[in-house]
Amino acid sequence: MAKSQAKTNPKGTKQSKEKGPVEQPFLTDIQTLRMRARKHIEDGAITAGYKADRETVIKLLNEALATELVCILRYKRHHFMAAGINADAVAAEFLVHANEEQQHADQIAARIVQLRGEPDFNPEGLTLRSHAEYVEGENLIDMIKEDLVAERIAIDSYGEMIRYIGDKDVTTRRMLEGILAMEEEHADDLASMLEELKI
């Protein structure tokens, strides 16, 4: 019985006379993976497969961290300063949002460290690094509006970061997508509160 002969077509795909195109494996072979893993082990999670501009991603994440920190501070103030007939329920929601923003800040800071960067918690220049503003608001309606504006800014910012990163850093992108989903929930909550408080 004659062995089937394989030849390479112009596209570089091996083709068998009997079975047609032979698929090339899409995964790197084990020996190459092992060899690459041993190189530059001090880089931790950053391997040769990391395709994003690491310094740019760290810069964007530090801006996101500053945004989250400013939002935490604003929500905390609003929680304690909420006053009026509907204040208890709204103040409780402000506190929930503040705690969720703290979770986001922690996630972002941890990812910055994984990327061999340093999370910037320096209060000096915090509001300059943040995309959102720190606005105190004069009454309950003002507070809700300012928080809603900040959430809308965060939604746009995270959306742009996700599109920029794309498939070049899947872990960061997935983290940001999770945060974005929660920011959208916050915006929806605040819009509903604003609607309920309208007379």
pLDDT value of residue 197 = 84
Residue 156 domain-assigned?
Answer: yes
Domain tally, the chain: 1
Residue 153 domain-assigned?
Answer: yes
pLDDT value of residue 22 = 59
pLDDT value of residue 7 = 46
For 18, phi then psi, to 5°, come to: -90, -40
Which class for 155: exposed (0-12), middle (13-18), buried (19 or more C-beta within 10 A)? middle
Q: Which residues of the chain have pLDDT under 50?
A: 1-16, 199
Please report, for the domain that includes residue 98, its CATH number.
1.20.1260.10
pLDDT value of residue 85 = 85
Assessment of whether the complete model's pTM goes beyond 0.85: no
Residue 25 domain-assigned?
Answer: no
Q: Which two tokens stand for residue 53?
A: 């501009």
pLDDT value of residue 39 = 66
pLDDT value of residue 196 = 87
Residue 184 domain-assigned?
Answer: yes
Residue 7 domain-assigned?
Answer: no
pLDDT value of residue 14 = 46
**Residue 86 amino acid letter:** N
- Domain containing 171: what range? 54-197
